[in-house]
A and B are shown apart, each in its own frame.
Chain A
Amino acid sequence: MKLKTKFLATFAAAALAAAPPPARADNSPVVFVAAIIQSGPFKVTDAQNLAGIQFAVRQINAAGGVAGHPIQLDVIDTELNAAATKRKVTDEILSRNAKVIIGASGSDVLKALVAVGQQYQVPVFAFAGEADDMTGPKFQPALFRIAANTSMHAAAIVYAMKQDYPGTKKVFLLNQDYSFGHESETGFKTALQRLDPDVQIVGSVFHPRGAADFSPYLQQIQASGADFVLTSDWGADLIKLLNQANSFGLKPRIGGTFLADPEILKGVGTGAIGDIGADVFQPTIETSRAQAFDRKFHAANAGTATPWATASVGKSYIATELAAYAINQAGSTDFGKIEKALEGLQYASIAGPLTVRACDHQVQIGEATGEVVPANNKPYAFPFIGPALIAPLSAIQVPPAATGNPRCVAGTN
């Protein structure tokens, strides 16, 4: 008898566990999943992105959350590995009912996120991953990209070069020898042809990723008579390039798509003064909105590894803010409604007014460029990007017809 009672109790417990969950309470959270590199040598890269997302989530929750629900931020470690990322983010959707994906450094990792987002109809808000084809020929509607694409980013550097160094007649292109480096080289060439057709390209070299010695390339640059160097190098390669160029006594200044990063510039010091960087956001944008953001971010993050707003902080903040805004506009976490709310959306971001282009979901916004100036504690105690010069959207935009995206070519702007 006792055994029978125990069996019935166990059965009842199992049946309760298997029963559908009760209707969601009003204050149940909406899960946002952030795909961040949290381990390995590239961890530093994404620490800034995570700081921006966390700051945005705190602010949004303090203001009432999204559609009346607080945001629950789950963070997964991408390991910079597409397969692991795909597995983890799928788990987040299936077991945690995640409604928004924010990520991710590495085009292959972002592609994995988009594949999952597309399959389960969850929007992906990208703060990085710049490959042109993702909003071009390989467009998938789940992706909304806040980061500039490679062509826009390259064009912003060329625009800044033209403004800051108007006497430039000869440029040298130096890029890493892999798909992103090659795509960037094409972006630089296209932008030069469009923005500064009189400038002559006197050399273009690809170097292996992780090159230890840049002196052969520096000698080529010097010998070419170039006035300026354009590069899409990033991370340790960019630090080595800038340091070795300084030791070598390279005369032409360098414009780098990923140069405007304190993690790069703190390791270079005065050697970078006069070089140029560009990105969607800079802490040196001189609008009152951007300055207020810088102050609030610093107040909340002083003493942490990311005490000041950076380009990455700004982009990941905008990505999170845009996701929340879209859910509020849609009044729902339904993908179709969010997509509808976002397509063609005009939004006043901390970096300035932006538009989510309907045909390719590529955010359209001018880029903040800047020249590295001597240390002035604004905000860093080492040479950093000076007052931002905005490269207008008209100068860097990829026209819809040139994207290769069938929807854009067909005229859905």
Chain B
Amino acid sequence: MTALEVLTRAANAPRAAAPRRGEMLATVLLLGGLAAAPLVASRASVNDLGQALCLGLFAISFNIIFKYSGLLSFGHAAFYGFGAYAAALLLQYDPGVPLILLIPATALATGFLGLLLGHVCVRREGAYFSMTTLAIGAFFATAALKWSAVTGGTDGLDGFMPDTLSVLPFWPLPSPTISQTYWLVLAFLLPAALAAWAVLELTPFGQAVRAVKQNETRAIFLGHDAHLIKLANFTLAAALAGLAGALWAVDNGFVSTDSIDLSFSTTVIIAALIGGSQWYWGPLIGAIVYIAASDWLSALTPHWQIWLGLAFIAMVLAAPGGIAGIAAWVWRNTVARDG
């Protein structure tokens, strides 16, 4: 079994038969918990959670291609990094630009980039798609490294965050606290993620995307333009990744090549699969767990990456549904069986 097949096994894992009721309850608990976190968690935890949210939205965007179109991207960080650099450069150019314009504009620009690149990528599937996205990811990572006049090269971009953040045209936010920044990130993240969820789960477009994934030939016979549908889904994922990158730039106040390099494209795959690719919000859980686990393990041992890697392999082999899959199994065998 090739590595690609092992990873794809997670995308094709049987969908948990847990009832919608369980998923809805988990979603409400998760999103409510995230919104209330600054009220109960320490400032350090909120700081970590802010970064985890950005990685989480990025992982959701990766999973939109992986789960709904069955395509494994190895270069998704290109869109995240593009969004991060674009937001940083726009703030550098005009520190007074309101976030309500900056963040959506960055997402739209990244979506447009996704539309252009997706036109090439989604023509092929399997390893060909993965390798094409890998090449695109490598191109953007190299460009960020080499085009130092714009990106700052290895030094990155810093000092672009204004002292007073403009949220709305007439709503300045002087020296935002960690909690305020966190809620700002959440205020952009949640509507965007929920909108994407609604599009994919509640609209005929979402059904068409799933139909193309399940049997492309049959979908074409039914009158769907498979290429266009995959391209639209790819564009949607790219836009969300760009939005995550822009939010990360605002939350972090610093952008470097870490946000666009190839290893970050791997990190997002790990986060998505740890959380569980079959539940829409699973990758968000995976991102939180990934950051918490990497910080905790790195404080314990310099060899933490080995342990994290072993845990990931064990998860893919034993529980391809990830944390969400385990939770669904527990739900099915306890609450759902009793009720």
Contact = CB atoms under 8 A, between A and B. Distances in A.
A94 interface: yes
B153 A83 contact: no
Nearest to B253: A115
Contacts of B43: 94-95
A119 B248 CA distance: 17
A339 to B, nearest CB: 19
B156 interface: yes
A179 B154 CA distance: 6
Contacts of B164: none
B252 interface: yes
A135 to B, nearest CB: 13
Contacts of A320: none
A340 interface: no
B155 interface: yes
A84 B155 contact: no
A46 to B, nearest CB: 10
Interface stretch (A85-93, A279-287, A328-336, A362-370): A85-93
Interface string A286-312: 000000000000000000000000000
B145 interface: yes
Interface residues of B, number: 34
A87 B295 CA distance: 9
Nearest to A80: B258
A83 B47 contact: no
Nearest to A43: B302
A220 interface: no
A75 to B, nearest CB: 9
B44 interface: yes
Given A107-B155, A112-B256, A178 B148 contact: yes
A98 to B, nearest CB: 11
A39 B299 CA distance: 11
Given A91-B44, A107-B154, A82 B302 contact: no
A83 B254 CA distance: 8
Given A94-B42, A111-B156, A39 B295 contact: no
Contacts of A133: 155
B303 interface: yes
A179 B302 contact: no
Interface in B144-171: 145-146, 148, 152-156, 158-159
A111 B44 contact: no
B40 to A, nearest CB: 11
Given A112-B256, A178-B148, A82 B156 contact: yes
Contact of A177 (B146, B256, B302): B146
Nearest to B155: A107
A87 B154 contact: no
Nearest to A179: B153
A77 B48 CA distance: 15
Nearest to A92: B44
A94 B303 CA distance: 26
Contact of A84 (B152, B294, B302): B294
A106 B156 CA distance: 11
Given A107-B155, A179-B152, A179-B153, A77 B256 contact: no
A164 interface: no
B258 A138 contact: no
Main secondary structure of the interface of B (DSSP, over half): helix
B51 interface: yes
Nearest to A134: B155
Nearest to B294: A84
Main secondary structure of the interface of A (DSSP, over half): helix
B190 interface: no
Contacts of B256: 82-83, 108, 111-112
B259 interface: yes
Interface in B42-58: 42-44, 47-48, 51
Contact of A178 (B44, B145, B295, B299): B145
A408 B255 CA distance: 27
Contacts of B153: 178-180
Contacts of A43: 302
A39 B302 contact: yes
A321 interface: no
Given A115-B254, A178-B145, A108 B302 contact: no
A81 interface: yes
Contacts of A106: 154
A295 B299 CA distance: 32
A28 B141 CA distance: 46
A79 interface: yes
Nearest to B304: A39
B217 interface: no
A207 interface: no
**Which of A86, A106, A108, A119 has the most CB atoms of chain B within a 10 A radius of its CB?**
A108
A108 B257 contact: yes
Contact of B295 (A38, A91, A94): A91
Contacts of B333: none
A178 B154 contact: yes
A76 B294 CA distance: 12
Nearest to B158: A111
A162 interface: no
B298 A91 contact: no
B305 interface: yes
27 contacts: A38-B302, A39-B298, A76-B299, A77-B304, A83-B51, A84-B258, A84-B294, A95-B42, A106-B154, A107-B154, A107-B155, A108-B256, A111-B158, A111-B254, A112-B256, A133-B155, A138-B159, A140-B159, A177-B146, A178-B145, A178-B148, A178-B153, A179-B148, A179-B154, A179-B155, A180-B153, A182-B148
Given A38-B302, A107-B155, 13 more contacts: A39-B304, A39-B305, A76-B298, A83-B259, A86-B254, A87-B48, A94-B42, A94-B47, A95-B42, A107-B154, A108-B155, A114-B158, A178-B153
Top-4 shortest CB links A-B: A179-B153, A94-B44, A95-B44, A38-B302
Interface of A: 38-40, 43, 76-77, 79, 81-84, 86-88, 90-91, 94-95, 106-108, 111-112, 114-115, 119, 131, 133, 138, 140, 177-180, 182
